[in-house]
């Protein structure tokens, strides 16, 4: 089958057979389909969509482009979580060790930044020595010994998705339900999971800004995953503001370690993390009820067990053995810190969250092209949340930048993102809805 004929059929709105999709994705994996053809295919899918059967076929084709992992030798359930992406979303860094501390195994295969959203893999690359893309032997060893491992796709796991993922990032084809569904689930199916929980973001910092779109994506993910034999549910969570008070790779790692050790915990981050942890533990069969699962997650966090798991995971993947204790000596720091002063007093009434993410990319904390290098030290921290009261001249955030010029441009961008008004806005829930197999 000629790749251009498959592209033409999808361009013209025709339904592709599973064999055509498998041939195209197989060609992408081995190099007989070019990047330009993959970009054209992604754009055709973006505009014309896919049926549920096509989305299943695309997911399975990308899964089958590489190795399927087998965790049957582990003495506990294997589970994972995936987020559709947001700003200040460092949930994975704290969630995986919480769930592992409760007796589950979490082989978390994560991605790099996509568009305005930060990537879990880019955050972990802030840690010196940490092997975010180990070989499979080290990955398996780390999971067995510590209970979790946060890594990127290896050459063996869903290689076709890795190629298409990078192409989508730089061709404005990210916000497509079938492409997002297949990208997420191909990795998770290849990871050999027993259960999966999805965090589907909704709001002005998410790929899905409207409730109906987020619900459609969550439903697609749940339907396709369960149809492929993977027990899956989804939580729809709010992304109308950064989830953590930091946005930027090393800054979010610092925030995550502070969260795990109890030095500081952003309230919305805690709410979302514990809700996902409870969902994972109940789904994995480690707790008889949601209430019991929530209690176990809180205990793992507050007892320090989760922080200890994170430290062991970092060491197992060749990061510093004392990273938790000496984080500040290891994480890269930007040479310029610049506070963003509020122009007037009042309450934070709105945050243009997507634009904040774009501002991190502009600082060098994300990619404009697939081959771009990242500066892990730059970004924002001490970001005020919605509803915070601020006086004129007080800091809305602190910019971490490579130069004073960069810092001033970023500060101007932050000011454009924040709205300040005389009245405190009504608080919005962090966890909005659950979608399970019976609802899908």
Q: Which residues belong to the active site?
A: 80-83, 120, 168, 183, 187-188
Close Cβ partners of 405 (under 8 Å, ≥ 6 residues apart): none
- Strand-pair partners of 219: none
Instruction: Give the Cα separation of 252 and 234 in Å (integer).
Output: 24
What is the distance of C-alpha 271 from the center of its chain?
17
Is residue 321 a contact partner of residue 243, using CB atoms and an 8 Å limit?
no
> What is the Cβ-side half-sphere exposure of residue 317, based on CA atoms within 13 angstroms?
30
Close Cβ partners of 401 (under 8 Å, ≥ 6 residues apart): 334, 335, 336, 338, 363, 378, 407, 410
Written as one string, the DSSP assignment of 208-246 is --SHHHHHHHHHHHHHHHHHTT-EEEEEEEE-SS-SSS-
Count other Cβ atoms within 10 Å, centred on residue 102.
25
Backbone Cα Rg of the chain: 21
Strands 195-202 and 79-83, sheet pairing: parallel
Report residue 78 as tokens: 């294997």
Angstrom CA distances, 52 to 108, 217, 225, 378, 381, stand at 26, 12, 11, 40, 41
Count other Cβ atoms within 10 Å, centred on residue 387.
14
CA atoms 78, 98, 239, 131: torsion sign: negative
Instruction: State residue 123 phi and psi, 5-degree precision.
Output: -65, -45
């Amino acid at each position: 089958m000629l790749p251009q004929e498959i592209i033409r059929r999808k361009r013209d709105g025709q339904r592709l057979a599973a064999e055509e999709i498998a041939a195209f994705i197989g060609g992408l994996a081995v190099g007989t389909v070019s990047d330009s053809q993959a970009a054209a295919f992604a754009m055709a899918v973006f505009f014309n969509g896919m049926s549920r059967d096509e989305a299943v076929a695309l997911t399975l084709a990308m899964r089958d482009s590489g190795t399927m992992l087998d965790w049957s030798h582990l003495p506990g359930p294997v589970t994972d979580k995936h987020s559709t992406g947001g700003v200040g979303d460092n949930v994975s860094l704290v969630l995986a060790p919480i769930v592992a501390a409760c007796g589950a195994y979490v082989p978390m295969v994560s991605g790099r930044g996509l568009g305005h959203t930060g990537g879990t893999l880019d955050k972990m690359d802030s840690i010196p020595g940490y092997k975010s893309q180990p070989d499979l032997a080290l990955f398996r060893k780390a999971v067995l010994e510590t209970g979790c491992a946060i890594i990127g796709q290896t050459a063996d796991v869903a290689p076709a998705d890795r190629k298409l993922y990078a192409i989508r990032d730089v061709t404005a084809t990210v916000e497509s339900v079938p492409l997002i569904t297949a990208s997420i689930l191909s990795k998770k199916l290849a990871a050999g999971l027993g259960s999966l929980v999805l965090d589907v973001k909704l709001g002005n910092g998410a790929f899905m800004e409207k409730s109906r779109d987020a619900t459609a994506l969550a439903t697609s993910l749940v339907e396709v995953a369960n149809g492929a034999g993977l027990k899956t549910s989804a939580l729809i969570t709010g992304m109308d503001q950064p989830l953590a008070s930091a946005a930027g790779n090393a800054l979010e790692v610092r925030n995550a370690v502070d969260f795990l050790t109890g030095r500081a915990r952003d309230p919305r981050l805690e709410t979302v993390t514990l809700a996902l942890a409870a969902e994972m533990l109940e789904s994995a069969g480690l707790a008889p009820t949601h209430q019991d699962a929530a209690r176990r997650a809180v205990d793992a966090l507050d007892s320090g067990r989760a922080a200890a798991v994170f430290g062991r995971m970092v060491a197992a993947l060749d990061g510093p053995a004392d990273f938790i204790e000496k984080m500040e000596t290891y994480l890269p720091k930007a040479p310029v810190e610049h506070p963003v002063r509020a122009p007037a007093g009042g309450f934070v009434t709105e945050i243009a969250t997507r634009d904040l993410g774009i501002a991190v990319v502009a600082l060098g904390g994300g990619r404009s092209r697939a081959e771009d290098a990242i500066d892990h030290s730059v970004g924002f921290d001490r970001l005020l949340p919605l509803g915070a009261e601020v006086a004129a001249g007080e800091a809305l955030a602190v910019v971490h930048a490579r130069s004073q010029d960069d810092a001033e441009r970023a500060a101007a961008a932050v000011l454009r993102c924040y709205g300040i008004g005389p009245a405190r806005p009504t608080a919005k829930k962090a966890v909005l809805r659950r979608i399970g197999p019976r609802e899908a």
